[in-house]
């Protein structure tokens, strides 16, 4: 069965994702089955809904990060954008702004940070990895300068609702936001010309340019979009913690990129799907939650997720190797 | 196909690594959540927790923590502990504020949360267990040097920075202790500041020897200061003439204790701390105490805790290390 799928993948790019997604789906189901078998607390709708907090914020950023990576860029500054966003809304919270305004301030801060990334990348033609390593230090550095060893904790009375509120006492708002955004990103990437153009410039930027796509404008706005999502995630995370410190979300950029790559997005750009990214977010979330229920030490979780990621990257290469091009 | 196999293997591996999969309904499950795993201090606290669990008989201890010392990691762990419906959580927090919302959620679901070592803010726990308090720390340091010197001689304090709040509170307590009749033979001649830098602390210690030729003892209530002072004593050939004491880590101090520059020093004992935290959590779960301000909580071999008005409590006076026990603890922290 796999063999036929492999063949069709070679013939037609898009069916790779179909087969990759089905593999992810099988993996997710296996993880859920194993969790159910291993822990009596797994199959509980309230526990499952609570567990979405593990991945919702990261997954929101993974959606836009997927577009960035498909278009051959990368953004390592997202976790630092969270820190700066959180610091900015923490500052405005002390001035007495309400929850709704803080939400917009946070999203706007993220957009500005993303815009600066995009501006430097496109205007000065510096590789995105270099620029965002720089802004990674810059954004969190500003947060350190502002806060030092202090923390912002004076958030409005109802601010917690964003990150910890539930619809019908069951579904976290964060999770709903993720699902809605996932549908939005899916439509954008797979059903619009914008989406087609993102694939085009990821596959061959020069060809894309010659066929009339304003490549740099796309790249700039994708960075703005990614910053915006990081800003939104920053607001959610701040609400969930109820406090801002400069070390907030430390190291998240790699966890987010892990979700994207596990989701089948080619790290070299040009291919990938939102469905895969969504599935990968669930896989990492359910795996972490399941292992957590068994009190498996965190370091082993990291190892397991690392192995999963290496398998994900190795799988297509291995399949290619064992089914040489001349084979069929 | 192979992905399936890998996944299955992973799951089996995960199952094999299960630490606490089986549970009996009648036992009390207490989770000890530490700042991060792989830290000797907390592993010692876990040993103390195991000791309390064994002594109490019906307690299962779940020892857990994030890989890196972050509050986000601890929140994920608390989420999973809530899902497992553990009976109590004792936590050494990576952030006093960020853990408040999740700890409140745990308590809403009927899981009492205590903090130890590094506290959660007032709203997020039943009470916080400090390893010690200023009065006990101040007293102990004077008592140690007094015993070493036979109750008389000139002493000096080598502190961290002049503005360090806790240092100044401890020095104040030392001065108060010195007024007691049993310490009347000791004379505090100087307080100097090494700013918690090894080289500056070292120079300040040498300066003390020059300025006060009759100096018999140095108290350094800082881990940086005490090692620097002990090194200065050894380098200046004053071993046996000037003794260093104060607060230090056994792993850093073992050599100085052997050289004779240090007779005794103190720090909180993580084993006792873990024991106390788990024991206290059991008392709350078993409804033997509410843990409200003014209450007393029994803690087995450690006596009892008295909760103060801020919902905090102090376990005991610092634990004293000397050449008999320092090597054992040097392996731990």
DSSP secondary structure string for all residues of B55-88: HHSSEEEEEE--SSS-HHHHHHHHHHHHHTT-SE
Instruction: Kindly tell me the number of DSSP H helices and DSSP E strands found in chain B.
Output: 11, 14
Q: Which residues of B touch A299 (CB under 8 A)?
A: 37-38, 67
**Partner residue facing A30 (CB), from B11, B17, B21:** B11
Distance CA A312, CA A283 (A): 12
Is B291 inside any structural domain?
Answer: yes
**Partner residue facing A23 (CB), from B3, B38, B67:** B3
Q: Are B31 and B62 in contact (CB under 8 A)?
A: yes
Using the beta-carbon criterion (under 8 Å), do A250 and B37 form an inter-chain contact? no
Candidates B5, B8, B11, B66, partner chain A, best to mutate (most A CBs within 10 A): B11
pLDDT (tens digit per residue) in B91-119? 998 888 889 989 998 999 999 999 998 88
Distance CA A53, CA A285 (A): 9
DSSP secondary structure string for all residues of B115-164: EESSPPPGGG-S-EEES--HHHHHHHHHHHHHHHHTT-EEEEEEES-TT-
| Residue B331 confidence (pLDDT) | 80
Q: Cα A298 from chain centroid?
A: 21
Q: Are residues B255 and B285 in the same domain?
A: no
* Statement: residue B313 has pLDDT above 50: yes
**Partner residue facing A30 (CB), from B7, B13, B75:** B7
A166 touches chain B (CB under 8 A): no
Boundaries of domain holding B281: 2-132+269-316
Is A128 inside any structural domain?
Answer: yes
DSSP secondary structure string for all residues of B203-238: HHHHHHHHH-TTEEEEEE-SHHHHHHHHHHHHHTT-
Sheet holding B59-64, edge to edge: B59-64, B28-33, B88-91, B113-116, B128-130, B312-314
**CATH code: domain of residue A145:** 1.10.3470
Burial class (CB within 10 angstroms; exposed 0-12, middle 13-18, buried 19+) of A289: buried
Tell which residue, B222, B221, B246, B223, has the closest CA to residue B320. Answer: B246
Q: Are B256 and B323 in contact (CB under 8 A)?
A: no
Taking the C-alpha atoms of A283, A76, A56 and B17 in order, what is their torsion angle to the nearest 10 degrees? 40
pLDDT (tens digit per residue) in B67-93? 777 888 889 899 889 988 899 999 998
ipTM above 0.85, yes or no: no
Using the beta-carbon criterion (under 8 Å), do B101 and A240 form an inter-chain contact? yes
Q: Which residues of A touch B71 (CB under 8 A)?
A: 241, 245
Nearest chain B residue to A312 by CA distance is B3
Nearest chain A residue to B18 by CA distance is A294
Q: Taking a contact as any Cβ pair under 8 Å apart, which residues of chain A between 5 and 24 contact chain B?
A: 23
Is B210 inside any structural domain?
Answer: yes
Q: Are B272 and B302 in contact (CB under 8 A)?
A: yes
Three-state DSSP class for residue A166: strand
| Residue B278 confidence (pLDDT) | 93
Q: Are residues B185 and B198 in the same domain?
A: yes
Q: Are residues B109 and B192 in the same domain?
A: no
Is B305 inside any structural domain?
Answer: yes
**Partner residue facing B64 (CB), from A242, A247, A295:** A295
Q: Are residues B259 and B241 in the same domain?
A: yes
Is A291 inside any structural domain?
Answer: yes
Q: Which residues of A touch B65 (CB under 8 A)?
A: 297-298
Q: Which residues of A touch B38 (CB under 8 A)?
A: 299
Is B157 inside any structural domain?
Answer: yes
Mean residue pLDDT across chain B: 86
Q: Are residues B57 and B97 in the same domain?
A: yes
Using the beta-carbon criterion (under 8 Å), do A304 and B76 form an inter-chain contact? no
Distance CA A31, CA A113 (A): 37
Q: Which residues of A touch B82 (CB under 8 A)?
A: 50
| Residue A323 confidence (pLDDT) | 66
Is A202 inside any structural domain?
Answer: yes
What does the block give as tokens for A180? 């809605």
Q: Are residues B127 and B192 in the same domain?
A: no
Distance CA A7, CA A244 (A): 51
| Residue A15 confidence (pLDDT) | 52
The count of CB pairs under 8 A between chains A and B is 139
The b/e string for A251-278 (b: 16+ C-beta within 10 A; e otherwise) is ebbebbbbbbbbbbbbeebbbbbbbbbb
Is A327 inside any structural domain?
Answer: no
Over residues B32-55, the mean pLDDT reads 86
Q: Which residues of B touch A302 (CB under 8 A)?
A: 67
Q: Are B311 and B147 in contact (CB under 8 A)?
A: no
Positions in chain A whose pLDDT score sits under 70: 1-18, 323-328
Using the beta-carbon criterion (under 8 Å), do B72 and A248 form an inter-chain contact? yes
Is B44 inside any structural domain?
Answer: yes
Is B162 inside any structural domain?
Answer: yes
A193 touches chain B (CB under 8 A): no
Overall domain count for chain B: 2
* Confidence (pTM): 0.76
Three-state DSSP class for residue A167: strand
Using the beta-carbon criterion (under 8 Å), do A51 and B75 form an inter-chain contact? no
Confidence of residue B163 (pLDDT cuts 50, 70, 90): confident
Strands B59-64 and B28-33: parallel
- Give the Å distances, CA to CA, from B324 to A68, B249, B250, B315: 62, 15, 12, 23
Boundaries of domain holding A155: 3-320
B83 touches chain A (CB under 8 A): yes
Q: Are residues B64 and B98 in the same domain?
A: yes
Distance CA B32, CA B271 (A): 13
Using the beta-carbon criterion (under 8 Å), do B82 and A30 form an inter-chain contact? no
Strands B128-130 and B113-116: parallel
A224 touches chain B (CB under 8 A): no
Q: Are B103 and B78 in contact (CB under 8 A)?
A: yes
**CATH code: domain of residue B216:** 3.40.50.2300
The b/e string for B270-305 (b: 16+ C-beta within 10 A; e otherwise) is bbbbbbbbbbbbbbbbeeebebeeebebebbebeeb
Distance CA B257, CA B247 (A): 13
Overall domain count for chain A: 1
Is B323 inside any structural domain?
Answer: no
Is A55 inside any structural domain?
Answer: yes
Is A326 inside any structural domain?
Answer: no
Q: Which residue carries 């977010």 as its tokens?
A: A281
Q: Min CA distance, B138 vs chain A (Å)?
A: 27
B76 touches chain A (CB under 8 A): yes
Is B330 inside any structural domain?
Answer: no
What does the block give as tokens for A90? 């923490």
Candidates B2, B4, B7, partner chain A, best to mutate (most A CBs within 10 A): B7
Q: Are residues B142 and B232 in the same domain?
A: yes
* Total residue count of chain B as it appears in this document: 333
């Amino acid at each position: 069965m796999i063999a036929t799928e492999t063949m069709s993948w070679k013939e037609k790019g898009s069916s790779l994702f179909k087969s990759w997604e089905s593999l992810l789906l099988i993996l997710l189901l296996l993880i859920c089955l194993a969790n159910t078998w291993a822990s009596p607390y797994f199959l509980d709708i309230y526990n499952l809904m609570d567990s979405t907090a593990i991945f919702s914020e990261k997954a929101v950023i993974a959606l836009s990060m997927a577009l960035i990576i498909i278009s051959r860029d990368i953004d390592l500054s997202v976790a630092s954008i969270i820190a700066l966003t959180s610091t900015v809304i923490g500052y405005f919270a002390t001035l007495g702004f309400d929850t709704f305004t803080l939400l917009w301030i946070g999203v706007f801060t993220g957009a500005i940070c993303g815009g600066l990334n995009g501006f430097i990348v496109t205007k000065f033609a510096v590789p995105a990895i270099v620029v965002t390593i720089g802004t990674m230090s810059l954004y969190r550095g500003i947060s350190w300068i502002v806060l030092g060893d202090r923390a912002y904790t004076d958030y409005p009375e109802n601010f917690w609702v964003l990150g910890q509120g539930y619809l019908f006492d069951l579904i976290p708002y964060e999770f709903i936001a993720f699902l809605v955004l996932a549908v939005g990103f899916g439509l954008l990437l797979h059903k619009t010309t914008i989406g087609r153009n993102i694939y085009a410039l990821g596959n061959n930027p020069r060809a894309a340019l010659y066929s009339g796509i304003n490549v740099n404008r796309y790249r700039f706005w994708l960075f703005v979009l990614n910053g915006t999502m990081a800003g939104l995630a920053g607001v959610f995370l701040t609400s969930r913690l109820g406090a801002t410190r400069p070390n907030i979300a430390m190291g998240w950029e790699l966890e987010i990129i892990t979700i994207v790559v596990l989701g089948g997005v080619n790290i070299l750009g040009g291919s990938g799907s939102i469905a895969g990214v969504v599935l990968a977010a669930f896989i990492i979330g359910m795996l972490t939650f399941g292992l957590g229920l068994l009190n498996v030490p965190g370091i082993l979780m990291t190892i397991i997720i690392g192995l999963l990621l290496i398998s994900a990257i190795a799988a297509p290469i291995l399949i290619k190797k064992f089914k040489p091009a001349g084979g069929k | 196909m192979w992905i399936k196999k890998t996944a299955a293997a992973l799951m089996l591996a995960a199952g094999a690594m299960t630490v606490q999969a089986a549970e009996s309904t009648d036992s009390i499950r207490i989770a000890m959540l530490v700042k991060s795993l792989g830290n000797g201090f907390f592993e010692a606290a876990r040993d103390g927790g195991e000791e309390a669990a064994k002594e109490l008989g019906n307690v299962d201890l779940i020892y857990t923590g994030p890989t890196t010392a972050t509050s986000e990691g601890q929140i994920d762990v608390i989420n999973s502990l809530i899902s497992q419906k553990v009976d109590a959580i004792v936590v050494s927090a990576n952030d006093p504020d960020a853990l408040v919302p999740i700890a409140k959620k745990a308590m809403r679901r009927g899981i009492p949360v205590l903090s130890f070592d590094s506290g959660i803010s007032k709203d997020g726990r039943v009470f916080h267990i400090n390893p010690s308090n200023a009065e006990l720390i101040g007293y102990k340091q004077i008592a140690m040097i007094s015993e070493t010197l036979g109750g008389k001689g000139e002493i000096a304090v080598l502190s961290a920075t002049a503005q360090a709040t806790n240092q100044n509170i401890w020095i104040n307590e030392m001065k108060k202790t010195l007024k007691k009749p049993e310490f009347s033979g000791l004379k505090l001649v100087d307080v100097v500041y090494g700013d918690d830098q090894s080289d500056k602390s070292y120079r300040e210690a040498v300066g003390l020897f020059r300025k006060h030729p009759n100096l018999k003892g140095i108290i350094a209530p800082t881990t940086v200061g005490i090692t620097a002072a002990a090194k200065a004593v050894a380098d200046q050939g004053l071993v046996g003439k000037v003794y260093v004491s104060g607060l230090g880590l056994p792993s850093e101090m073992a050599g100085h204790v052997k050289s004779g520059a240090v007779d005794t020093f103190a720090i909180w004992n993580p084993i006792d701390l873990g024991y106390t935290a788990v024991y206290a959590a059991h008392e709350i779960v078993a409804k033997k105490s509410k843990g409200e301000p003014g209450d007393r909580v029994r803690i087995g071999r450690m006596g009892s805790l008295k909760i103060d008005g801020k919902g905090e409590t102090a376990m005991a006076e610092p634990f004293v290390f000397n050449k008999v026990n320092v090597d054992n603890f040097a392996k731990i922290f």
